[in-house]
Amino acid sequence: MRQIEFFDTTLRDGEQSPGVALNVEEKLQIARQLEKLGVDIIEAGFPITSPGDFQAVSLIAEKVRDTKIAGLARAEVQDIERAWEALKKAESPRIHTFIATSPIHMQYKLRKTKEQVLEHTKMAVELAKSKVSDVEFSAEDASRSEVDFLAQVFSLAIKSGATVLNIPDTVGYAVPDEFAEFVKAIMTKTEGIEKVKVSVHCHNDLGLAVANSLAAVKAGIQQIECAVNGLGERAGNAALEELAMALYTRKDQYMAQSRIVTREITKTSRLVSRLSGMSVQHNKSIVGKNAFAHEAGIHQDGVLKERSTYEIISPEMIGLDMNTIVLGKHSGRHALRKSLDDLGIDIGEERFQKLFEDFKVLAEKKKVVTSSDLFSLADVHELEEELTIDYWQVVTGNNLKPTATIGLQHKNGEEKEELIKAAYGDGPVAAAYKAIDKIVGIDGELLHYNLQAIDSGEDSQGEVNVTVKFREHIVAGRGISTDIIEASVKAYLQAVNRALGKGWVMVKKR
């Protein structure tokens, strides 16, 4: 069996998804979970882009010791110096430098000739190599590059010290057979290729990122770049969970294995979804809510008789539905702790006590507290937010102008009266959002609002996802509650808290 290394770019390319803005603590939390998931390399960020990205890469490099940590850099001196500064405390650092090699990118974007691109490649890889032994070189837009020129660039990168060569399908243009042939051609034409690892980085613009990556595995590559839940620029990157489960389930085809600990998949997916604010579509492979749901009678009959009739993966394998205890209002701390352990939700004693109190409140409202509820409860307790809800009330009806009154609490203990405002709106949610805007002194533009039930049944909790624009910044938020207005308020407030955390808005009472 060949070993395929998983290079996770959730924190770099994933964070380039519009609406995703992770703070430093959130990135560290995701990196720690990626380590448990068994990824080989974490691309922690692009240090030159902002002080926050620099700080996140430095912190992850310092704290996450059992996984290689990579930082991205353009083929420019200042980028590489900055990446090295951020990575220098890492146990196994990798500088990942890149430059575009396609005619279209060289001519219009870089405004560089082939010779200049070759010069930058040599300079960048040599400089990176003078800092670290592990250097990855990516040829951006490789799949639209001339194969002979790409092989020339790659040969030079190897001579200059690269240890990994990455072939990105940057704009998701490739199709599987063609991409496999392209990868094979590069591997044949590049001098010294046997000394390095070959990688692919596929985007999902045509929905083919996973298929293209798997075709490249068959063509002989050693590393796949991917992101949890398929996050990433535009339509995203190849989804980590799909690649891991395809390699595992069809090892007969790929003759390859990875270090991914599959039972950590669900937990990782939910953590990334919550912190990024990007919900997972219900019919998404592996981690979608419906991925293991059987609705049709013939299917249900088959599954009841023998699960393998309609299930090619068992839910336990990806860490789903491992909760064996029925939790309700009569459950105690031991049962809750056991259920959390079964689900792989690992929280300290102090947070556990708070979670237990909230669990009891929820159990009063719901007959059965499900695994999804537990994930949500645990999620809610992972953030220390600047503003929290103290009080909310809406008045609405067919003959009334919907009105909301919101009271917030500031973590620095600001005077309560100053953080209560009322507002009208076209509906109760709009009124509540206007009241929050008044308190904070901003005008958030609601770009997207989605409400869905977490489970089935009348007592299910509602989950609201929003995307809000604060000036030029787009931020996502999520809220969960048995009351849909409260879930809506929580979602908006989470977006506000994220924008506050990034310094994009300031509390400025009107």
Ligand X SMILES: CC(C)C(=O)C(=O)O
Ligand Y SMILES: CC(=O)SCCNC(=O)CCNC(=O)[C@H](O)C(C)(C)COP(=O)(O)OP(=O)(O)OC[C@H]1O[C@@H](n2cnc3c(N)ncnc32)[C@H](O)[C@@H]1OP(=O)(O)O
Residues near ligand X (CB under 6 A) are 13, 98, 138, 140, 166, 168, 170, 201, 203
Considering only residues 101-140, where is the footprint of ligand Y by CB under 6 A? 109-110, 140
- 465 binds, options ligand Y, ligand X, Mg ion, none, Cβ within 5 to 8 A by partner type: none
Instruction: Please give the Cα distance from 33 to 42 (Å, whole number).
Output: 11
C-alpha of 331 from chain center: 33
Closest distance of CB 168 from Mg ion, Å: 6
Which of ligand X, Mg ion, ligand Y, none has residue 138 at its interface (CB below 5 to 8 Å by kind)?
ligand X
Site string for ligand Y, 82-101 (x = CB under 6 A): ----------------xx--
Q: Which does 394 bind (CB under 5 to 8 A by kind): ligand Y, Mg ion, ligand X, none?
A: none
Residues that constitute the known binding site? 13, 201, 203, 237
| Residue placing its CB nearer to ligand Y in the complex, 49 or 249 | 49
Estimate to the nearest angstrom the gap between the alpha carbon of 80 and the chain centroid: 25
User: Is 209 or 380 the residue whose CB approaches ligand X more closely?
Assistant: 209
Closest CB to ligand Y among 225 and 373?
Answer: 225
What value does the CA radius of gyration of the chain take, rounded to a whole number of Å?
24
CB of 366 to ligand Y, least distance (A): 43
Q: How far apart are CA 64 and CA 18, in angstroms?
A: 27
Residue linked to tokens 């991925």: 291
* Minimum distance of ligand Y from residue 89's CB (angstroms): 22
The count of C-alpha atoms lying within 13 angstroms of the C-alpha of 223, restricted to the half-sphere facing its C-beta, is 23
For residue 81, with 0-12 CB atoms within 10 Å meaning exposed, 13-18 middle and 19 or more buried, which class applies?
A: middle
Question: In terms of CB distance, is 140 or 437 closer to ligand Y?
Answer: 140
Q: Are 61 and 44 in contact (CB under 8 A)?
A: yes
Residue 6 near ligand Y by CB under 6 A: no
DSSP code of residue 26: H
Stretch of residues binding ligand Y (CB under 6 A), selected from 70-78, 297-305, 366-374, 495-503: 70-78
Looking at 9-17, 65-73, 116-124, 449-457, which segment touches Mg ion (CB under 5 A)? 9-17
Contact 183, 175 (CB under 8 A): no
Other Cβ atoms closer than 10 A to 415: 8
CB atoms within 10 A of CB 348: 7
Q: Scanning the structure block, which residue is given the tokens 């070189």?
A: 137
Smaller CB separation from ligand X, 201 or 498: 201
434 scored as a contact of ligand Y (CB under 6 A): no
Do 277 and 490 touch, CB atoms closer than 8 A?
A: no
Binding residues for Mn(2+): 13, 201, 203, 237
Piece of 45-53, 181-189, 191-199, 210-218 that binds ligand Y (CB under 6 A): 45-53
Pairing of strands 5-8, 164-169: unpaired
Give the nearest residue (CB) to ligand X: 168
One residue of 5, 13, 53, 437 binding Mg ion per CB under 5 A: 13
Under rule CB under 6 A, how many of the chain's residues touch ligand Y?
15
Which residue stretch of 73-81, 222-230, 283-291, 431-439 sits at the interface with ligand Y (rule: CB under 6 A)?
Answer: 73-81
Other C-beta atoms closer than 10 Å to the C-beta of 349 total 7
> How many CA atoms within 13 Å lie on the side-chain side of 29?
22
Nearer to ligand X, 139 or 436 (CB): 139
**Smallest distance, Å, CB 111 to ligand Y?**
7
Nearest CA-CA partner of 208 in 235, 240, 244: 235
Among 43, 169, 233, 264, binds ligand Y (CB under 6 A): 233
CA distances from 177 to 57, 67, 103, 109 (A): 36, 32, 22, 29
Q: Would you call 451 helix, strand, or coil by DSSP?
A: strand
Residue 373's binding partner out of ligand X, ligand Y, Mg ion, none, with CB under 5 to 8 Å set by partner kind = none
Point out which span in 34-42, 44-52, 313-321, 432-440 binds ligand Y (CB under 6 A).
Answer: 44-52
> Least distance in Å: CB of 30 to ligand Y?
18
d(C-alpha 41, C-alpha 214), whole Å:
19
Q: How crowded is residue 141: how many other Cβ atoms within 10 Å of its Cβ?
A: 23
Q: In what order do the strands lie in the sheet with 445-453?
A: 445-453, 462-470, 473-481
Nearer to ligand Y among residue 136 and residue 140 (C-beta): 140
Closest approach of ligand Y to the CB of residue 73, in Å: 8
Q: How far is the CB of 182 from ligand X (least distance, A)?
A: 15
For Mg ion, the closer of residues 164 and 378 by Cβ is 164
Q: If we measure between CA atoms, which residue out of 169, 161, 155, 152 comes closest to residue 219? A: 169
Task: Tell the burial category of 241 from Cβ atoms under 10 Å away from its Cβ (0-12, 13-18, 19+).
Answer: buried
Give the interface with Mg ion as residue ranges (CB under 5 A).
13
Give the interface with ligand Y as residue ranges (CB under 6 A).
13, 16, 46, 48-49, 74-76, 98-99, 109-110, 140, 170, 233
